Amino acid sequence: MRPETQYIAAKDQLSLVLGFFSRVESKLSFLFAIDTGVLAVLVADAPPIKDLSWSMIVAAALTLLLIGLSIVFLYRGAFPNLKGGEASLVYFREIASRTEHRFIEDFKNQSEEQHTNDLLGQAWRNSVILKMKFDSLKLAFGLLAAGIIPWLASLALFAANGKPARPTLLR
């Protein structure tokens, strides 16, 4: 591939990778909303502590564990490890570590080949970060799915308890 073609391909590759970030970010946010909603319903429907049976405690604890772990993975997906990109003139953290003047001078003094390599390095690093985000999202979704069963069991046990935890108007 000619150097000009490599440069254009490197820019396109970085743009392609960056385009996937919004997809995973929106899914992380949506799943976080579901997780917090599941927890809110669980807490809202729970009877007073003195009325909890062992089966209710076990089902609710399992739900809290699974949904809590889901939230941990959502956090990891939202805030992955961003280390890397040393000396890059494309990576935002490396750019921010320079003064404005130093960045402008360094950028203007790089060759097209150096810039192409920097773009490709950034495409690779963003792919690593994106993989972490998707892996965390997948685990969080699996934990939420697993948590639905004890959550439904908890709600059924709470309802069978016969004492509404909140006014009927809110049910």
- On whether residue 130 sits in a domain, the answer given is yes
Identify whether 33 is part of a domain.
yes
171 lies in some domain: no
147 neighbors 66 (Cβ within 8 angstroms): yes
Q: pTM of the full predicted structure?
A: 0.85
Instruction: Give the pLDDT of residue 156.
Output: 95
Q: What confidence score (pLDDT) does residue 133 get?
A: 96
Residue 164 counted as domain residue: no
**For residue 83, is it within any domain?**
yes
pLDDT of residue 168: 47
* pLDDT, position 59: 97
Q: What is the pLDDT of residue 162?
A: 73
Number of compact structural domains in the chain: 1
Rounded Cα gap, residues 73 and 65, in angstroms: 12
Q: How many residues are listed for the chain in this entry?
A: 171
Inside any domain, residue 165 = no
User: Over its length of 171 residues, how does the chain's per-residue pLDDT go in tens digits?
Assistant: 788 889 999 999 999 999 999 999 999 999 999 999 999 999 999 999 999 999 999 999 999 999 999 999 999 999 988 888 888 999 888 999 999 999 999 999 999 999 999 999 999 999 999 999 999 999 999 999 999 999 999 999 999 987 655 554 444
Q: Which domain holds residue 45?
A: 3-159
Write the CB contacts of 1 (distance below 8 Å, at least 6 apart in sequence).
9
In a domain, 170, yes or no: no
